[in-house]
């Protein structure tokens, strides 16, 4: 059944974006609604390459004057693979932002925009700051903060964005239509908020996860937990294995060699488990179910029929 929004007068049905450019257009029309009126947004800014670095074009750069931070804004369809679409770009942007000339160009770009906005200039000067220096301080201290705008956000993509891509703010942007009328639903997740992971913190107050594995499993999907328990029993028989829980995954470490070889994520809504493993050059996956990300591989276990094959893959990570 199609998702819809109902008012006393009308019904609006969820619109499914087919092209990323459509989503980008709608986001650009609703910038103030999304980011507030004390922000400056620059779409599709070309970051020039220097030396041996390749340039890039983020979907946008956002200067938030309330938080005094700059963000890279990436706009993605929920149907896209976040690892394939965002990870290569973010790796490139991080390298680019380390270059002082790239940061200088960004400061110049924002400075030229601010010069035409008297209200912003007055706000900056009210802080007893010189405009250019104020912008430069924000850009230099921001490094690579990231906002992800996505039309459909599920549990898997939220976890990938928070833990693996280090996204600072996730914006779910949904569009609903009735003939030529549009309505939008905009939801925010600030990944820096406390108590989103499980409430356990280290001495510095940083979220580290749940109290233990059982606490982590409490609100997970029943099928996911069943699959996890079967896997867990087999993995702990590998040898002298240490089990620990951190953030959104349960990790397994070979105590003898002091090496972590597996991370398992147990889903809350979907009945499946995601496995992250290390892989050597001679890694053998005849069914081709794993996806590569950096020096690791990941795959899903969705039924008991997947268990034996999953153990063969995990064993390769353990033995490498």
In CATH terms, 210-319 corresponds, of 1.10.3470, 3.90.1150, 1.20.1070, 3.30.450, to: 3.90.1150
Residue 92 has a pLDDT of 77
Other residues' Cβ atoms within 10 Å of the Cβ of residue 27: 24
The answer to whether domain 4-190 and domain 210-319 are alike in fold is no
CB atoms within 10 A of CB 99: 16
pLDDT at 48: 67
Name the residue ranges covered by the structural domains of the chain: 4-190, 210-319
Whole-angstrom CA distances from 44 to 94, 100, 182 are: 17, 20, 25
In CATH terms, is domain 4-190 a member of 3.40.1350? yes
Both tokens assigned to 27? 């986001």
Q: Quick one: pLDDT at residue 209?
A: 58
Starting from the edge strand earliest in sequence, which strands make up the sheet with 291-293, in order?
A: 241-246, 249-254, 259-266, 273-278, 296-301, 291-293
Do the beta carbons of residue 27 and residue 34 sit within 8 Å? yes
pLDDT digits (tens, 9 = 90+) for 276-298: 999 887 899 999 999 887 788 99
**pLDDT on residue 49:** 64
Q: What is the DSSP string of 251-277?
A: EEEETTTTEEEEEEEE-SSSS-EEEEE
CB 216 within 8 A of CB 210: yes
CB 40 within 8 A of CB 113: yes
Q: What's this model's pTM, rounded to 2 decimal places?
A: 0.71
Please check whether residue 12 is in contact with residue 178, taking contact to mean a CB–CB distance below 8 angstroms: yes
Q: What are residue 209's DSSP bridge partners?
A: 200
Give the pLDDT score at 201.
42
Q: Which residues of the chain have pLDDT under 70?
A: 1-2, 48-55, 192-209
């Amino acid at each position: 059944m199609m998702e819809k929004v109902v008012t006393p007068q009308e019904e609006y049905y969820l619109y499914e974006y087919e092209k990323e450019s459509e989503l980008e257009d709608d986001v650009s029309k609703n910038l103030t609604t999304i980011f507030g009126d004390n922000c400056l947004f620059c779409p599709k800014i070309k970051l020039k390459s220097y030396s041996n670095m390749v340039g890039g074009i983020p979907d946008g750069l956002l200067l938030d004057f309330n938080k005094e931070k700059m963000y890279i804004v990436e706009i993605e369809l929920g149907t896209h693979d976040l690892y394939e679409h965002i990870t290569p770009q973010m790796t490139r942007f991080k390298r680019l932002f380390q270059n002082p000339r790239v940061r200088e160009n960004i400061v110049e770009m924002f400075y030229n925009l601010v010069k035409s906005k008297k209200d912003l200039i007055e706000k900056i000067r009210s802080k007893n700051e010189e405009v250019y220096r104020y912008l430069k301080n924000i850009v230099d201290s921001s490094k690579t903060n990231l906002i992800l705008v996505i039309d459909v956000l599920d549990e898997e993509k939220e976890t990938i964005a928070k833990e693996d891509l280090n996204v600072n703010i996730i914006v779910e942007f949904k569009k609903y239509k009735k003939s030529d009328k549009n309505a939008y639903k905009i939801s925010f997740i600030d990944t820096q908020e406390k108590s989103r992971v499980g409430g356990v913190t280290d001495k510095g107050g940083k979220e580290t996860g749940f109290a233990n594995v059982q606490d982590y499993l409490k609100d997970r999907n029943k099928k996911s937990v069943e699959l996890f328990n079967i896997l867990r029993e087999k993995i702990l028989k590998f040898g002298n294995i240490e089990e620990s829980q951190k953030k959104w995954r349960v990790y397994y470490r070979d105590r003898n060699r002091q090496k972590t070889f597996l991370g398992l994520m147990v889903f809350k809504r979907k009945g499946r488990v995601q496995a992250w493993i290390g892989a050597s050059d001679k890694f053998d996956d005849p069914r081709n179910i794993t996806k590569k990300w950096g020096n690791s591989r990941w795959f899903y276990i969705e039924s008991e029929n997947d268990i034996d094959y999953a153990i063969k893959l995990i064993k390769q990570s353990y033995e490498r």
